[in-house]
Amino acid sequence: MWRSLSPSGRVWGGAGPEREAHLSLAGAPGGEQEVWCLESGHGPLPPPGSQQLEGELPRRARRRTELQQYESRYPSPQPLDPGRTTAAAAPSRPSPPMYASWSGRQRGRRGGLGLPGRAWLLITTWLLVLFSALAFYFSLGQLPQLPWTYLRPSAPPRPVTVLMWWEPFGGQGKSSPAPDCQRLFNLNGCLLLTDRSAYWEAHAVLFHHRDLVRTLDWPPPQSELGDGLDPDTATVGAASSGRPDRPPGQRWIWMNFESPTNSPRLESLDGSLFNWTLSYRADSDIFVPYGYLYPRSNPEEQPSGLIPSLARKHRLVAWVVSHWNEDQARVKYYRELSQHVEVDVFGQGGPGQPVPELGLLHTVARYKFYLSFENSQHLDYITEKLWRNAFLAGTVPVVLGPSRANYERFVPRNSFIHVDDFPHAAALATYLRFLDRNPNEYKRYFDWRRRYAVHTLSFWDEPWCRTCQALQSAGDQQKKINNLAAWFQR
């Protein structure tokens, strides 16, 4: 039969010793929730004339009355599927007992491999933590090898001479001494010269692109090449190929740190003029990036100041720009972003204000975010705007340049914010404000600093010395760049 028990304890039917077989929630009069209990079958009647029979007959009558009362108050819903009616009319298999043994209940609670459900929950949680830790580790660890590790000079390294044909940008009005590669990079056997009379002794000659295409001193005149050049050979060579002959085995190296957008007259240098390339491009013959990360020798030691202090960051977004051009993608994006979040601009042109006397890095360090916007978007073109202005200053860079995947070849994915991660500048501004209000989320962008340190390019010492290192590692096999423009502009 059905026995109704309300939460308040009132009984809506008779009570008996029978075992409960089913539970169902329903509403009692007045909206109060009830629990109806269907009791098991009647069983055989006591012997006729016995005292038990006199009490059993009225009790069973009450059961039928209460069952009819329940069915009239809560009729069974008609099945929506006509097929269910047919199925309901078919003989049903006996239901399993309501009260199973403890061991049976435990087997029901076990997952795969016979483990209890709670054990599976703990194992799943542990695996999620493990996979998260591994993902974090590999997000930090999957960085390319250091730019010079592929260079393995012979032991002891052979002495080489590298001639810089022009000091970059005309020496910026002054002559700089050649770098000491042994002191700076622990490289021995490097003789670096700017004296063109040493042309015939040089193993390699470096030509800086910007000076190369702006000067009238090309091809190099005979008077610049010293007395070792045979005039007849030079004349024939210049007449037939447009350039003087070069000593056997000497390599001419094209050096450039500008993007293809800002590298004019590339097509004029085609025709197997150069043997090697030196640039920020990872596929250059001599790869010299604007910066890179290198592993800390003792990552377990965390010096003070490793993670920038939030107490000194009083402002939100900064941008330092030296050349303002309204047609550039970075200026257009700034115009849109500044409508949703305040950006302090420093530098020449546009709305920029002079950099304070305390210097660029100290100024940017007071901000939580820095716009590392490149002047053009090209493969591997990631400049000091990321490495120096953001990383060394201790702020989080918001980058506009090559793709996110390109950035992740050189830095951990959680070390920067890419504008391409957002459908528009308004969404980016919303995310920056979210990080501003949530310090723990913001500080996650500094986790990589526990394992890596930042190196920035030293102009022009590093390109010069890396050229020496490359020469010491190279064999005698010759190479010619047949289509410089097609390679660099892709």
| Predicted pLDDT at 307 | 83
Identify whether residues 301 and 449 lie together within a single domain. Answer: yes
pLDDT at 243 over 60: no
pLDDT above 70: percentage of residues in the chain:
62
Task: Specify whether the CB–CB gap between 394 and 453 falls below 8 A.
Answer: no
| E strand or H helix at 89 | helix 82-89
Per-residue confidence (pLDDT) for residue 147, from 0 to 100: 63
258 is catalytic: yes
The per-residue pLDDT for 478 is 84
Within a domain: 250: yes
To the question of pTM greater than 0.85 for the whole model, the response is: no
Average pLDDT, the chain: 76
In a domain, 257, yes or no: yes
**Same domain membership, residue 333 and residue 409:** yes
Mean pLDDT value of segment 382-405: 97
| Structural domain includes residue 60 | no
Tokens at 301, concatenated:
């030691």
Residue 29 pLDDT more than 60?
no
Least confident of 61-75, 112-126, 214-228: 214-228
Q: Identify whether residues 171 and 185 lie together within a single domain.
A: yes
Which pairs with CB-CB distance under 8 Å and at least 24 residues apart come from 421-424? 424/336
Q: 249: domain range?
A: 160-223+244-288+460-489
> What pLDDT score does 72 carry?
65
Beta bridge partners of 315: 367
* Orientation angle between helical segments 329-337 and 425-437, nearest 10 degrees: 60
- The mean per-residue pLDDT over the stretch 134-155 comes to 54
Question: In this model, does residue 88 exceed pLDDT 50?
Answer: no
Give the pLDDT of residue 208: 92
Query: For the domain that residue 433 is a member of, what is the CATH number?
Result: 3.40.50.11660
Q: Is the pLDDT of residue 18 over 50?
A: no
- Is the same domain home to 251 and 309? no
- Predicted confidence band at 71 (pLDDT cuts at 50, 70, 90)? low
* Residue 435 domain-assigned (yes or no): yes
Residues 357 and 444 in one domain: yes
User: Which one has a higher pLDDT value, 323 or 26?
Assistant: 323
Over 80: is that where the pLDDT of 275 sits?
yes
| Same-domain pairing of 179 and 206 | yes
Residue 133 lies in a domain: no
**Band (24; pLDDT cuts 50, 70, 90):** very low
> Could you tell me if 197 and 281 lie in one domain?
yes
| Closest among 202, 154, 200, 146 to 178, alpha carbons compared | 202
Q: Could you tell me the pLDDT band of residue 67, with boundaries at 50, 70 and 90?
A: low
Of 5-14, 136-145, 442-451, 471-480, the range with the highest mean pLDDT is: 442-451
Q: Say how many residues make up the chain.
A: 490
3-state helix, strand, coil in the chain (%, to 5): 40, 15, 45
Angle of CA points 292, 295, 296, to nearest 5°: 120
Domain identity same for 434 and 465 = no
Q: Is residue 31 situated within a structural domain? A: no
Cis peptide leading into 252, omega within 30 of 0? Answer: no
Alpha-carbon gap, residue 39 to 15, rounded angstroms: 10
The DSSP code sequence of 294-342 is EE-S-TT---TTSSPPGGG--EEEEEEESS--TTSHHHHHHHHHTTTS-
Nearest to 324 by CA among 299, 343, 350: 350
Annotate 172-236 with three-state secondary structure: HHCCCCCCCHHHHHCCCCEEEECCHHHHHHCCEEEEEHHHHHHCCCCCCCHHHHCCCCCHHHHHH
Higher pLDDT, 69 or 465: 465
Could you tell me if 298 and 446 lie in one domain? yes
| Rounded distance between C-alpha atoms, residue 235 and residue 468, angstroms | 30
- In sequence order, which residues have a C-beta less than 8 Å from that of residue 430 and are 6 or more positions away? 340
Question: DSSP state, 150?
Answer: T
pLDDT band at 206 (very low <50, low <70, confident <90, very high): very high
- Asked whether residue 88 is assigned to any structural domain, the reply reads no
- Judgement on whether residues 310 and 437 belong to the same structural domain of the protein: yes
Q: Are residue 196 and residue 332 in the same domain, yes or no? A: no
Is the same domain home to 195 and 207?
yes
List the catalytic residue out of 18, 258, 384, 408. 258
Q: Quick one: pLDDT band at residue 177, thresholds 50, 70, 90?
A: confident
Contact 319, 373 (CB under 8 A): yes
Burial class (CB in 10 A: 0-12, 13-18, 19+), 282: middle
Asked if the structure places residue 100 within a domain, the reply is no
Q: Which residues pair with 35 in a beta bridge?
A: 5, 25
How many secondary structure helices (H) and strands (E) does the chain include? 15, 16
Domain count, the chain: 2
